[in-house]
Amino acid sequence: MKPASFEYHRVDTVEDALERLGELGEDAKLLAGGQSLVPMMNFRIVRPPALVDISRIPDLRYIARDGDGLRIGGLTVHREIEHADDDLLDGFGVLKAAAPLVGHMPIRSRGTFGGSVAHADPSAEWCMLTLLLDGEIVARSTEGERTIAASDLFLGFFTTTLEPGEILAEVRFQRPLRQAAIEEFARRHGDFAIVAVAAGVESDNGSCSHARVVIGGVDEVPLRVEAAEEVLLGSDLGDEAIEEAAQVAAREVEPASDVHGSAEYRKRLTAVLLRRALRRALENGR
């Protein structure tokens, strides 16, 4: 398959990209790594009349500390996170652990962190972890800059609160979460997960003081399961609490059935993967 005809515009600065988007109108699309957009164009699922290629803007490609926090530029490719120094990602090791789960090496070498978050696939690792880590999305437009909480970003399948003419410039994480892990199940390595689970906890004097559970692949958006978090809060994070949280999460999700698995199968996977994620998260904190 080949895409429908389109205009191609390459830019080298954020300012040029925003100016070009304004000229081309809201139907124009940004091209970052192209690992999601180009296949969709080839199958003519989307037919943008114009592409603005921002892949060569150097100012949007970085991983940087900001005190205890972390900033990742929108054009940072997956492989750069996968191979980042441990010290740079100290407290955010779950990001590095998740990177090898993203597609295959060619995809990780071209695809971008910000592109994945903006694409908003509900089973995508970066979407889940942006929610898990209370990320903030920095969007730039000709009107200036605004910050969007991850909890306010995802609206539905491939749909976010980003406006036409905005560029996802950066994702910010304000505080580390050392005891965190991600687990997923896919039929083949590199396939999108049938179900994925990200979990993180913090404890104080043997009692859970913070818990976050995010499930992917069971809804139109990466889903935070607060009922499971409530089970963990105040617990000793032992086997009984973990099992109860896993069962609660399985009851809370309402996945659809498709060729990859029934709704009941996805519910069972949710429980299994949350058990694994919580146990690995606890190990990561030792």
Q: Dump pLDDT digits (tens) for 70-120.
A: 999 999 999 999 999 999 999 999 999 999 999 888 899 999 999 999 999
Instruction: Kindly state whether residue 1 falls inside one of the protein's structural domains.
Output: no
Same domain, 185 and 156: no
Same domain, 139 and 194: no
CB 173 within 8 A of CB 135: yes
CA distances, 257 to each of 100, 254, 263 (Å): 27, 10, 5
44: domain CATH number? 3.30.43.10
Instruction: Kindly state whether residue 268 falls inside one of the protein's structural domains.
Output: yes
How many distinct structural domains can be found in the chain?
3
Same domain, 93 and 149: yes
Average pLDDT of the segment spanning 218-222: 97
| Residue finishing a domain among 139, 173, 207 | 173
pLDDT band for 189, please (50, 70, 90 cuts): confident
Instruction: Kindly state whether residue 189 falls inside one of the protein's structural domains.
Output: yes
Same domain, 191 and 160: no
The string over 128-145, giving b where at least 16 C-beta atoms fall within 10 Å of a residue's C-beta and e elsewhere, is bbbbbbbbbbbbbbeeee
Measured between alpha carbons, how far is 45 from 62 in angstroms, rounded to an integer? 31
Same domain, 62 and 168: yes
Lookup: tokens for 236: 């000793």
For the chain, percent helix, then strand, then coil, each to nearest 5? 35, 25, 40
Same domain, 230 and 263: yes
pLDDT in tens, 52-68: 999 999 999 999 999 99
Helix (H) or strand (E) holding 114: helix 113-119
CA 48 to chain centre: 24
pLDDT over 80 at 1, yes or no? no
Measured between alpha carbons, how far is 141 from 149 in angstroms, rounded to an integer? 17
Same domain, 169 and 189: no
Percent of the chain scored above 90 by pLDDT?
90
Measured between alpha carbons, how far is 123 from 195 in angstroms, rounded to an integer? 7
Same domain, 49 and 63: no
Same domain, 151 and 233: no
Selection from 271, 270, 205, 208 nearest residue 244 by Cα: 271
Measured between alpha carbons, how far is 156 from 121 in angstroms, rounded to an integer? 9
Same domain, 158 and 67: yes
pLDDT over 90 at 191, yes or no? no
| Residue finishing a domain among 117, 146, 173 | 173
Measured between alpha carbons, how far is 154 from 97 in angstroms, rounded to an integer? 23
94: domain CATH number? 3.30.465.10
Tokens 């920095």 -> residue: 138
Q: What is the pLDDT of residue 131?
A: 98
Q: What is the pLDDT of residue 286?
A: 65
Same domain, 164 and 240: no
For residue 141, the cross-strand partners are 144
Selection from 61, 64, 93, 90 nearest residue 78 by Cα: 61
Instruction: Kindly state whether residue 12 falls inside one of the protein's structural domains.
Output: yes
Residue-number span of the structural domain to which 243 is assigned: 180-284
Residue 47 DSSP class: -
CB 22 within 8 A of CB 66: no
Crossing angle for the helix pair 239-252 and 263-284, nearest 10 degrees?
Answer: 150
